[in-house]
Every structure is written in C-alpha cells, then in structure tokens.
Structure 1
Amino acid sequence: LQADRRIARWYDLQWLTWLAVTAYLLHQFEEHGVSLLGAPYAFRGTLCATLGYGDAVSCPVPLAFITAVNVSAVWVAGFASALAARRFPLIALSFFAVPLVNAFAHIVPAILERRYNPGLFSAVVLFLPLCLWALAVAVRRYGAGAKAIGLVLLAGLLVHAVLMGSLLAYLRDFIGLVPLVAIQVLNAALPAALMVAAFHGRVAVPPPAPATPVRAPRKPRRPPAQAA
C-alpha cells in the first residue's frame, strides 16, 4: 500500500490515497448505513428534504443515482488513483478533490442550519484533516504547485456541480435514468482528466525528494600533528 518504504507512510501519497478510500467507506456508512444519531439510511431523506420533498418514501431521487455516484466516484476512481499513485502522483492527488469539497458540503449546511446532517461527523473528523494533510504532502514532498492545488479544488466543485445539475435535470424530466447514471460514471473521471489535460500528460513526476533533508556525511577529521 506504500510506494516508498524509505519514508514514513504519512508522507507517502499512495498510502494516503488508500487511507482516503477507507475514510470514504466510513463516510458512506454514516450516510447510507447508520447515521451518528442512529437513523438508518438517513442521507437520502436529507437530500430529498433539501430538494423540497418532505416524504422520503415518495421522493423521486432514484437509488440508482446514489449507487452510481458512490461506486464510480469513490470505489472505481479511488482504487484507480491509489494504484496509479506510484508512477502518477498527480492522479492520486486528484482523488482528494471530491472528499475535500464534500466535507464543506456537509459543514456549511450544518453551520447555517445549526444541526447535524448525515455524514457530517466523518467529514469533519476524517475528510477535512486528511485532505488538507494530503495537499501539504503533495506540495512539500512531491513539488505540487498552486496550479495543481487549484485544480483539486476546481475539480471537486465541478464534480458536485455536475452531480447536482444532472439530478435536477432528471427530476425535471429533461433526462432519463440511464443518462443520469451514465453521467455519474463519467463524472467520476473528471478530476483525473482535468489534471492530465492541465499538465498535458506530464502527470508522472521524477522520484520525490525525501520527506526530511539528508545531511551529507561528515569528512573524517585529520589526526592532530605530533610534535617532532
């Protein structure tokens, strides 16, 4: 799971990507399993209420939409990004776009509404610190610049915009279920595609520098000159 065993795993982007996939598993359980308040499958009800549907049972948000989002953007993209991290660390970095923006998608409504929403706890405790640390490691150890960091933020925003935009288009009968699901599958590749397009295929970088500078070996001291 670690690309470079010479350093601590917390400075290895491949290991951090696998950790992010694991964090998303816990996040999905809080959303679609049992929430922090003990409610089962609470996320869909919250989403339906946000869209103006009071009854989650009759809410037209399809289960296939939620499944397509989670499987494509997390499991397919997550595994692919982690496996590519050794040779293409910028691809691995692009995976953090979705959890980073998703964290604020939970935090901002919680602050405005002053109440818990399904997924908030894992977003604050797992997503936010892990994503910020991964960005710091990408800058410090892998030499990622402002352009790469900006693309991570942009990609996360675009993924969520496409996600919600396509759902609203479906609810207004502009598109059918099959196009809605297909859009989510393609949308999962958006962060990596943006990174590749922005760097013109130069997503493979030279071997990263060590996490801590290595001191040059000291020259042996000359023995003191003896008096004749």
Structure 2
Amino acid sequence: MILPDLLWLCTAAYALHVVEEYQLNWRDWARAVIRLPVQWTDFYIVNVLAILLGIVAANIVRQPALALAYPALMLINATFFHVLPMLLTRGRYSPGVFTAVVLFYPLGIACFHRALSVGLVGWRGVSLAFVIGALLMASPVVLLKLKSKPYFRQT
C-alpha cells in the first residue's frame, strides 16, 4: 500500500478513536487520571484539528517528514495518553486504548516502514516527524494548562 493510502487510513482510524474516546467518556478519565482540566469543547476542537491534520498529511506526501508527523502523533498519543497511563494505574481503562493499540500502532508503524522502505525518508526525517508530532501532541495540553494562569485569563 502506498503512503498516501496509509495516511488516509490513519485519518479514518483517528475518527474511530475519537468515537471510542467520546462514547467511553475520555474527558472524565483525563480529569481523574492525568489531571488534565479538559472540557468537552476542548475535546471537540482538538479532535477536529486532529482529523484535519490527517487530511493534510495524506495530501503532502511530497514532504514526507511533515506527512509522517501525523502517524508520529498517533503513536505518541497511543503510548503516552493511553497505554502508559493504563500501566501506571494498574489497568484502569483509558478510553481510546482499544483503537490506539489495534489501529494506531499498526498503521503508524506501517507508515514509517513504508516511507523508509521506499526511500521517501531517512532516519533524520523520521526523527523530525516525531519532533513535530510531539509538538503537535503537546500543544493542546500546554494551552490547557496555561489558560488557567492569571496572565492568560481574559476576564
């Protein structure tokens, strides 16, 4: 399968992931387990952006390190927002972990394998993709934390 097709599948997987998180109340889990002061509106906006990023990634394969930032974001999300918290809480279910394990890991790994095997990107590009993916994953969390600080309050 070619990389653009894999990236479209990643986008579809992300949509299924959002459904799992929403239906199983990721917001309350995030508040209780990882102490993230998230509201449903934050959840909606961030996940719409995540789907848009997937669409962009599937259309910019000529810039493979940028396109691969999307599957990197998925792998980071799966690991640090689902699997690791479940391990640290001795198995407390993290809404989204099913799609993260069943879809994010195989598709994310497949994207990097494909890009490396056909020479679209080298290890430097893979590293850059993970840096960009980490920044994309961290930005909403940082903004959530900052908005409660007095300097950033708009009241």
**What TM-score, normalized by structure 1, do the two folds share?**
0.61
Residues 13 and 89, structure 1, Cα contact 8 Å, conserved in 2: no
Per-residue deviation at 1:83? Answer: 2.2
1:123 aligns with 2:100: yes
| Structure 1 equivalent of residue 125 of structure 2 | 148
Per-residue deviation at 1:95? Answer: 1.7
| Structure 1 equivalent of residue 58 of structure 2 | 82
Task: Name the CA shift for 1:123/1:90 in 2 (closer, same or farther; >3 Å).
Answer: same
Per-residue deviation at 1:128? Answer: 0.8
Per-residue deviation at 1:62? Answer: 3.1
> Across the two proteins, how many residue pairs are aligned to each other?
152
1:49 aligns with 2:23: no
Between 1 and 2, higher relative CO (CA 8 Å, sep ≥ 6) is seen in 2
Q: Which has more radius of gyration? A: 1
C-alpha distance in structure 2 between counterparts of 1:143 and 1:52, whole Å: 39
* Structure 1 range deviating more: 166-175 or 139-148: 166-175
Q: Which runs of 5+ in 2 are unaligned?
A: none
Which of 78, 90, 102 does residue 77 from structure 2 map onto?
Answer: 102
Residues 68 and 112, structure 2, Cα contact 8 Å, conserved in 1: yes
Per-residue deviation at 1:94? Answer: 2.3
Per-residue deviation at 1:176? Answer: 4.3
Residues 13 and 93, structure 1, Cα contact 8 Å, conserved in 2: no
Over the matched positions of the two proteins, sequence identity in percent amounts to 32
Per-residue deviation at 1:101? Answer: 0.5
**What TM-score, normalized by structure 2, do the two folds share?**
0.87
Q: How does 1:151-170 map to 2 (within 5 A)?
A: 151-170=128-147
Residues 78 and 100, structure 2, Cα contact 8 Å, conserved in 1: yes
Secondary structure of 1:171 counterpart: coil
Q: Which runs of 5+ in 1 are unaligned?
A: 1-9, 36-41, 54-59, 178-228
| Aligned Cα root-mean-square deviation (Å) | 2.0
Which of 13, 33, 39 does residue 23 from structure 1 map onto?
Answer: 13
Per-residue deviation at 1:171? Answer: 2.7
Per-residue deviation at 1:123? Answer: 0.5
